[in-house]
């Protein structure tokens, strides 16, 4: 059972975000309330990469109102849009910052401009505590999606049913991240470790993920295992994206 402190935190963040929904659906929100809402999130580095891209530029309640009324005609469309836009922020706040570098990873993955990558990352984060098997599967899917997106952006062909370790190797070679592409022993060791992490993610997904029906006698992963996998998958994905965009 979650603590009252956690419950209070969820209420606080949802209350703040509701101010945007209130204004978008005909409610009255003061300039002071909106500026406090915006300042609270924009000025805190923990939320970098988690806020909607349009949010920082809407410095007043009138600017927000002009934006939302031109985007959508109906109240229901506006509600659906805003809850979807703030979902990643809310999930981060409600989880109690369960992944060490989540804002940095989220911001980095946005650079790929890929809905598939963002969905895999969001699923991995959402399932850590409630569905460890699903989080492990999503973590593996994240690395796969990132590798494919990078290769596609560079117009490099890959086999349709390619295994994760082979796909990563192809992406690594394209980015000059394969161990044999370097002479320095330290680089070889680190980059070899990266390959081992990806191989491990694929093996963990096959053994403990939810892609295959588990045996009744199989060991079941816990949230701590899922958190480790998601952290590793996020860190590897960010490394690939930042290298591709250097």
Which pLDDT value is given to residue 157?
Answer: 95
Spell out the CATH class of 99-246: mainly alpha
DSSP collapsed to 3 states, the chain:
CCCHHHHHHHHHHHHHHHHHHHHHCCCCCCHHHHHHHHHHHHCCHHHCCCCCCCCCCCCCHHHHHHHHHHHCCCHHHHHHHHHHHHHHHHHHHHHCCCCCCHHHHHHHHHCCCCHHHHHHHHHHHHHCCCCHHHHHHHHHHHHHHHHHHHHHHCCCCCCCCCCHHHHHHHHHHHCCCCHHHCCCHHHHHHHHHHHHHHHHHHHHHHHHCCCCCCCCCCCCCCHHHHHHHHHHHHHHHHHHHHHHCC
Q: Where in the sequence of the chain do the CATH 1.20.120 domains occur? A: 99-246
* 229 in Cβ contact with 197 (< 8 Å): no
Which pLDDT value is given to residue 238?
Answer: 93
In the predicted model, what is the mean pLDDT of residues 27-45? 80
Of the pLDDT bands very low, low, confident and very high (cuts 50, 70, 90), residue 32 is: confident
Q: Tell me the per-residue pLDDT of 145-154, one tens digit each, with 9 for 90 and over.
A: 999 999 999 9
Which pLDDT value is given to residue 33?
Answer: 77
pTM: 0.61
Q: Is it the case that residue 100 has pLDDT exceeding 70? A: no
Q: Is it the case that residue 63 has pLDDT exceeding 80? A: yes
Q: Tell me the per-residue pLDDT of 163-220, one tens digit each, with 9 for 90 and over.
A: 999 999 999 999 999 999 999 898 899 999 999 999 888 887 666 655 544 545 456 7
As a whole number of angstroms, the distance between CA 107 and CA 92 comes to: 13
At 16, list the tokens: 């703040």
Better-predicted residue by pLDDT, 6 or 178:
178
Which pLDDT value is given to residue 98?
Answer: 54
Q: Tell me the per-residue pLDDT of 85-94, one tens digit each, with 9 for 90 and over.
A: 887 777 776 6
């Amino acid at each position: 059972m979650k603590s009252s402190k956690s419950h209070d935190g969820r209420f606080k963040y949802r209350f703040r975000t509701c101010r945007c929904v209130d204004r978008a659906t005909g409610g009255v929100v003061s300039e002071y309330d909106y500026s406090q809402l915006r300042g609270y999130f924009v000025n805190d580095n923990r939320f970098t990469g988690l806020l909607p891209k349009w949010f920082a530029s809407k410095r007043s309640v009138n600017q927000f109102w002009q934006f939302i009324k031109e985007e959508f005609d109906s109240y229901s469309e506006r509600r659906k849009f805003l809850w979807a836009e703030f979902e990643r922020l809310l999930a981060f706040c409600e989880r109690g910052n369960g992944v060490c570098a989540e804002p940095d990873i989220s911001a980095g993955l946005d650079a790929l401009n890929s809905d598939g990558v963002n969905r895999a990352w969001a699923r991995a984060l959402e399932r850590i505590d409630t569905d460890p098997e699903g989080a492990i599967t999503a973590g593996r899917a994240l690395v796969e999606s990132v590798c494919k997106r990078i290769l596609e952006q560079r117009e490099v062909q890959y086999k349709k049913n390619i295994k994760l370790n082979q796909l990563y190797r192809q992406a690594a070679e394209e980015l000059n991240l394969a161990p044999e592409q370097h002479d320095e022993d330290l680089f070889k060791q680190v980059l070899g470790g990266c390959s081992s992490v990806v191989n491990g993610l694929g093996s963990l997904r096959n053994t403990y993920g939810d892609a295959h029906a588990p045996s009744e006698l199989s060991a079941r992963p816990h949230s701590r295992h899922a958190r480790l996998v998601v952290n590793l998958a996020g860190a590897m994905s960010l490394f690939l994206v930042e290298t591709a965009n250097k």
